[in-house]
Amino acid sequence: MSELGPNEHAGEPVRGLPGHLPAGEHILWQGAPDWRTLARTALHTHLVGGYFGILAAWNTGSGLASGVPVAQAMGSGVVTLLAGALAIALLTLYAWLAARTTVYTMTNRRFVLRHGVALSKCFNIPYSAVASAGLKLDARGVGDIPLGLAGDAKIAYPHLWPHVRPWSFVNPQPMMRALPDAAAVAERLSLHLQQASSAADRPFVVEPVRQPAARPSAVSSGTGASGGQPAAA
């Protein structure tokens, strides 16, 4: 098993895992992103739609201001909207495929990320390699759980995307994205991260839960532990 390296999972013996688990290790939970939320938060389909809407209005307005026939000006706007619809459709398709090919796995010893639409990758991250964890929720309770890696442990940002904390280019943080019932998952994860931290006799960092202003109610966040190196199967 090579450290920090990806591996194809064709013919994986256990869904979401590169091989059978060793004695004493068992699966606690498996999940995947919600593709609709993934399309909006990772691929920003709403921003793409807004951009093409503004561009269509601009093209129509500038055409009318230039004195071109109304039908021609409106046609320019419609063509722009059709281009935007195609772009959104392609991004949404990718989000659906990404969610369909992603499996997040929590065992009693590690977190495993398997993902990839065209090129499949699988990363093993032992709990001892997690230095911090956080939780971000939206108004529906769907959320993200980023995991900060300890020490010099790193996985390249492109290898993780879209399952990576946005803008964490220097120290990429693997992230479970668009999880339904993310708070419950984070609570379960926090228990094992605290146990790993205690075993290593090292501190862990709990990031404040980030929630929308419309839903200020408190939710327990995940925690992390430091030590070890994440490995990819």
Quick: pLDDT tens for 138-179: 989 999 999 999 888 889 999 999 999 999 999 999 999 999
How is the chain split into domains, by residue range? 40-98, 108-232
Pairwise CA distance, residues 111 & 53, whole Å: 41
DSSP 23: T
| Residue 104 reports pLDDT greater than 90 | yes
- What is the percent of the chain with per-residue pLDDT over 90, rounded to a whole number? 65
Lowest mean pLDDT: which of 14-23, 61-70, 82-91, 224-233?
A: 224-233
16 sits in which H/E element: none
Cβ atoms within 10 Å of 49's Cβ, excluding its own: 16
Phi and psi for 42 in degrees, rounded to 5?
Answer: -95, -40
| Residue 70 reports pLDDT greater than 60 | yes
What is the chain's Cα-based Rg?
Answer: 21
Pairwise CA distance, residues 233 & 229, whole Å: 13
- Residue 2: the pLDDT is 36
Please, what CATH class does the domain formed by 108-232 belong to?
Answer: mainly beta
- Contact assessment for residue 126 and residue 108, using Cβ atoms and an 8 Å cutoff: no
Pairwise CA distance, residues 202 & 127, whole Å: 12
- Contact assessment for residue 113 and residue 125, using Cβ atoms and an 8 Å cutoff: yes
70 sits in which H/E element: helix 70-100
Residue 202 pLDDT level (bands cut at 50, 70, 90): low
Question: 148 or 204: whose pLDDT is higher?
Answer: 148
Phi and psi for 218 in degrees, rounded to 5?
Answer: -75, 140
Residues 6+ apart with CB under 8 A from 112: 16, 17, 103, 104, 105, 106, 122, 123, 124, 125, 233
Count of alpha carbons within 13 angstroms of residue 106, beta-carbon side: 21
- Residue 207: the pLDDT is 62
Pairwise CA distance, residues 136 & 146, whole Å: 9
